[in-house]
Amino acid sequence: MIILNSIQDMQKYILQEKTEGNSVGFVPTMGYLHEGHLSLMERAKNEADIVVVSIFVNPLQFGPNEDFDRYPRDFERDKKLAEEAGADVLFYPDTKEMYPDKPVVTVSVNRRTDALCGKSRTGHFDGVATVLTKLFHIVSPDKAFFGLKDAQQVAVVRGLVDDFNFPVEIIGCETKRESDGLAMSSRNVYLSEEERKEAHHLYQSLQKAQSWLSNCDSGETEEKMIKYLEEHTAGTVEYCKVLSYPELLPPVKDDKKLIIALSVRFSKARLIDNVIIDNILEKQGSEEEKCSVI
């Protein structure tokens, strides 16, 4: 595995590989790799000739009260894991390399950000879209692989690629989970022992919500999720939402897909999770059959 730190070296490498006819799969990350990241690399290995993994903790997507400084970092560990997963290149630029000066131009996301995490994290997805615009130009991938644990990010990235006509296919990959269902995340290390025991209820609430949604409307389902999480965890529920996907708007019967999503803040970790399902609103029963929130 090759480690490259400069944009110029990365572009030179990619140009050579493309000249030789090799396809490029790209997995952008902020490091502190876990099984979810590694599964993206394995998928990329199956679908591209060359796999590029980037590690860059992007300051533009962190708010003033968020955890940029204490975001977990362990490059030696990440390097070993990426190599074992089959990465061909590890692109590891520092902040000065990516942003040598204050940006003259940044990307502003206009849709798909007024709900879920985007509602409370002003500017977060602008930062995501800006750094990915840079990375897509630097790496020139044929396919880029993202975990659907952050389904809002995937929706925004697909909009970015469609609107700016990037010649890259965005592949959303299934969320990798611990044995008890907790979605894998770099932030899970911040959970206390007791919080970790409670955290599996996040996925339990999503599973229950799919059943509730068969007979309840979206608002009732959201209320039942909040009640369940408040009863089974000590975390603060930031949101439980049922929305259309990928537009992230209030659902209607004509929507093909729905997302059931949640965010819970524990003492030192904010966790998100979701499931994406076929729209089942049209299968709801009559008013008499609908459940009530107890």
Question: 200: annotated binding-site residue?
Answer: no
Question: 153: annotated binding-site residue?
Answer: yes
Residues 262 and 211 in one domain: yes
Torsion angle, alpha carbons of 27, 29, 31, 35, to 10:
-60
Q: Is residue 284 part of a domain?
A: no
What φ, ψ does residue 253 adopt, rounded to 5°? -65, -25
Residues 19 and 119 in one domain: yes
- CATH number of the CATH domain containing 231: 3.30.1300.10
Question: 31: annotated binding-site residue?
Answer: yes
Consecutive H or E run containing 275: strand 270-278
Residue 100 is predicted with a pLDDT of 97
Question: 204: annotated binding-site residue?
Answer: no
Q: Is residue 118 part of a domain?
A: yes
pLDDT digits 0-9 by tens, 251-292: 998 999 999 999 999 999 999 999 999 988 765 544 434 454
Residue 257 is predicted with a pLDDT of 96
Question: 186: annotated binding-site residue?
Answer: yes
Q: Total structural domains in the chain?
A: 2
Question: 32: annotated binding-site residue?
Answer: yes
Residue 282 is predicted with a pLDDT of 62
Q: Is residue 178 part of a domain?
A: no
Residue 293 is predicted with a pLDDT of 38
Residues 166 and 230 in one domain: no
pLDDT digits 0-9 by tens, 130-184: 999 999 999 999 999 999 999 999 999 999 999 999 999 999 999 999 999 999 9
Q: Choose between 214 and 49: higher pLDDT.
A: 49
Residues 55 and 162 in one domain: yes
Residues 212 and 253 in one domain: yes
What percentage of residues in the chain have a pLDDT greater than 90? 88
- CATH number of the CATH domain containing 25: 3.40.50.620
pLDDT digits 0-9 by tens, 98-114: 999 999 999 999 999 99
* Residues marked as catalytic: 37
Domain final position from 173, 199, 226: 173
- Angle (nearest 5°) at CA 9 between 165 and 70: 80
Residues 92 and 150 in one domain: yes
Residues 157 and 101 in one domain: yes
Residue 70 is predicted with a pLDDT of 84
pTM metric for this prediction: 0.91
Beta strands in 148-193 (DSSP E): 169-173
Question: 263: annotated binding-site residue?
Answer: no
Residues 192 and 274 in one domain: yes
Residue 294 is predicted with a pLDDT of 33
Q: Which tokens hold the place of 39?
A: 């599964």
Q: Which residues pair with 91 in a beta bridge?
A: 4, 54
Residues 134 and 11 in one domain: yes
Q: Is residue 74 part of a domain?
A: yes
Tell me the residue range of the domain where 206 lies.
Answer: 186-278
Residues 13 and 146 in one domain: yes
Which residue is it, tokens 């977060």?
124
Q: Is residue 288 part of a domain?
A: no
Q: Is residue 181 part of a domain?
A: no
* Contact in structure between 72 and 35 (CB atoms under 8 Å): no
What φ, ψ does residue 261 adopt, rounded to 5°? -135, 155
Residue 283 is predicted with a pLDDT of 58
Average pLDDT, the chain: 94
* Contact in structure between 236 and 264 (CB atoms under 8 Å): yes
Domain final position from 141, 173, 205: 173
CA 177 – CA 175 distance, rounded (Å): 6
Question: 134: annotated binding-site residue?
Answer: no
Question: 21: annotated binding-site residue?
Answer: no
Residue 249 is predicted with a pLDDT of 97
Residues 162 and 193 in one domain: no
Q: Is the pLDDT of residue 248 over 90?
A: yes
Residues 206 and 167 in one domain: no
Q: Is residue 231 part of a domain?
A: yes
Q: Which tokens hold the place of 207?
A: 């599973």
pLDDT digits 0-9 by tens, 23-76: 999 999 999 999 999 999 999 999 999 999 999 999 999 987 787 888 889 999
Domain final position from 116, 142, 173: 173
Strand bridging mode 270-278 / 257-265:
antiparallel
Strand bridging mode 143-147 / 270-278:
unpaired
Strand order across the 89-91 sheet? 2-4, 89-91, 50-55, 24-29, 143-147, 169-173
Tell me how far the alpha carbon of residue 13 is from its chain's centroid: 27
Q: Is residue 290 part of a domain?
A: no
